[in-house]
Amino acid sequence: MSIFTGALAEQTADLTNALEGLTKEEAAAGGAALGMAVGMIFVLAIVWFIFQAIADWKIFTKAGEAGWKSLIPIYNVYVEYDLCWSGVLGLVYIALTICANFLTSGQNVANWRMIIGAVMIIIALILHVMQSLRLAKSFGKGTGFGICLILFGPIARMVLGFGSATYVGNRS
């Protein structure tokens, strides 16, 4: 028996011994606490998603687009790229992410598929960084805010949507 399996067996035995000492009430209380924690995280995630949707809606309306366009997956990426840069590059970004996901998914993926998928992901990441910098400039913000969009995207998008930033146009 290897050292790893021996240590795993010892830890499993220790956990079993610890659980055997619990009463039904203690186990129920622990389960209830865990359930409340998971439920609270779920509720916070829904609230966060709603705030993000509203912020994106406001970003689109500030830029003169219909807010509902921000709610449609894939189309919202195309519209945002079109607002700040070029809709064609938005289509390239979408195609790269979809193809990279297709190439790298599944079991026993060939090495050439992984390499091509990784290159596609890197190109998509570069496009995303450039798009974030363009989005900041389109709202009259500087490179620092563009970096905030890259690093802290959801929070920075709320600042754009709910803040006093105004759309100044495509700064190509």
Give every CB contact of residue 127 below 8 A, 6+ residues apart in sequence: 89, 92, 93, 96
Do the Cβ atoms of 165 and 141 come closer than 8 Å? yes
How confident is the model at residue 17, as a pLDDT? Answer: 65
Between 171 and 131, the more confident residue is 131
Separation CA 61–CA 65 (nearest Å): 5
Tens digits of residue pLDDT in 14-28:
666 666 777 778 777
- On the question of pLDDT at 40 being above 90, the answer is yes
How confident is the model at residue 30, as a pLDDT? Answer: 78
Asked whether the whole model's pTM tops 0.75, one would answer no
3-state secondary structure of 115: helix
Between 93 and 9, the more confident residue is 93
How confident is the model at residue 31, as a pLDDT? Answer: 80
Label residue 149 by pLDDT band (50, 70, 90): very high
Separation CA 36–CA 12 (nearest Å): 26
How big is the chain, counted in residues?
172
**What's the mean pLDDT when you consider all of the chain?**
85
